[in-house]
């Protein structure tokens, strides 16, 4: 439990029931190797935390942006609660060193699965805070660690999907509507691989790859935004 105190200091919440915080950090895989551990895994807390996070963000946006349409609020909320954002929060707080994983999962440090585990742990922590400290402490945590990103999200328009962002930027900066062309399609029907080129008139800005045309287009748009510094 002494290690948990370090995490409590990092997140700024000191639990009455330390087991709630501990449980928020237990991945299912850990219990496969530690059958006699006295706590369960964190998936129920994650389920609760997901709902708590959503209502806190929704209420904040509803109150603070009274003149914005539902579409804006929905996009901003999605950007604040998605796994990419929550993964970054977990990294910033150093949550990874506190999570209990199986030996196999512990070795797999840079995979997509690890990113989801870390993102889910933030939801579980929010669920634990809510049960132990109530909604106001939960709001404090969410405002401090998640909502503060909203200004950058709005200014950078990162709430838009990459294709929309590239099209908006290309029309604004170059007065050109981008076009996507399939350059290559290979593999059997059940395992297709697409290569797509993103063009501004005759200029091929970038190439994207994916298991569908849409996925390849999004990949090309993300690369195009970086290459154009848009």
Q: What tokens were used for 103?
A: 């030996």
Active site residue 172: no
Clarify whether 123 is annotated catalytic: yes
Dihedral, 201, 206, 207, 213 alpha carbons, nearest 10: -60
Residue 46 labelled as part of a binding site: yes
Q: Which of 123, 132, 219, 222 is catalytic?
A: 123
Environment class of residue 99 by beta-carbon count within 10 Å: exposed (0-12), middle (13-18) or buried (19+)? Answer: buried
Q: Is 8 labelled as part of a ligand binding site?
A: no
One of 50, 96, 140, 215 is an active-site residue; which one?
50
CA distance 111 to 101: 14
Note every long-range contact of 116-119, with CB atoms under 8 Å and residues 24 or more positions apart, other chains counting: 116/83, 116/87, 117/27, 118/86, 118/87, 118/90, 118/91, 119/83, 119/84, 119/85, 119/86, 119/87, 119/90
Task: Report how far residue 153's alpha carbon sits from residue 146's, in angstroms, rounded to the nearest whole number.
Answer: 11
> Is 68 assigned to a binding site?
no
Residue 6: Cβ within 10 Å count: 11
Residue 143: CA atoms inside 13 Å, Cβ hemisphere, count?
10
Q: Cite the active site residues.
A: 50, 123
Binding region for Mg(2+) = 46, 120, 123
Q: Residues at the annotated binding site?
A: 46, 120, 123
């Amino acid at each position: 439990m002494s290690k948990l105190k370090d995490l409590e200091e990092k997140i700024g919440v000191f639990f009455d029931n330390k087991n709630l915080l501990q449980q928020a950090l237990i991945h299912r895989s850990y219990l496969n190797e530690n059958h006699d551990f006295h706590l369960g895994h964190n998936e129920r807390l994650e389920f609760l935390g997901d709902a708590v996070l959503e209502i806190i963000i929704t209420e904040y946006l509803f109150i603070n942006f009274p003149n914005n349409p539902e579409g804006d609020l929905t996009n901003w909320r999605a950007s604040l609660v998605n796994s990419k954002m929550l993964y970054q929060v977990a990294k910033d707080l150093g949550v990874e060193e506190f999570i209990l994983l199986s030996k196999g999962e512990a070795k797999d440090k840079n995979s997509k699965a690890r990113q989801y585990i870390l993102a889910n742990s933030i939801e579980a922590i929010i669920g634990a805070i809510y049960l132990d400290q109530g909604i106001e402490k939960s709001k404090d945590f969410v405002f401090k660690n998640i909502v503060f990103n909203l200004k950058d999200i709005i200014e950078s328009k990162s709430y838009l999907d990459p294709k929309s962002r590239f099209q908006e930027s290309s029309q604004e900066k170059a007065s050109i509507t981008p076009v996507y062309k399939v350059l290559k399609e290979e593999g059997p029907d059940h395992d297709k691989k697409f290569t797509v080129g993103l063009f501004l008139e005759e200029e091929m800005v970038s190439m994207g790859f994916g298991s569908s045309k849409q996925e390849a287009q999004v990949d090309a748009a993300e690369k195009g935004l970086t290459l154009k510094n848009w």
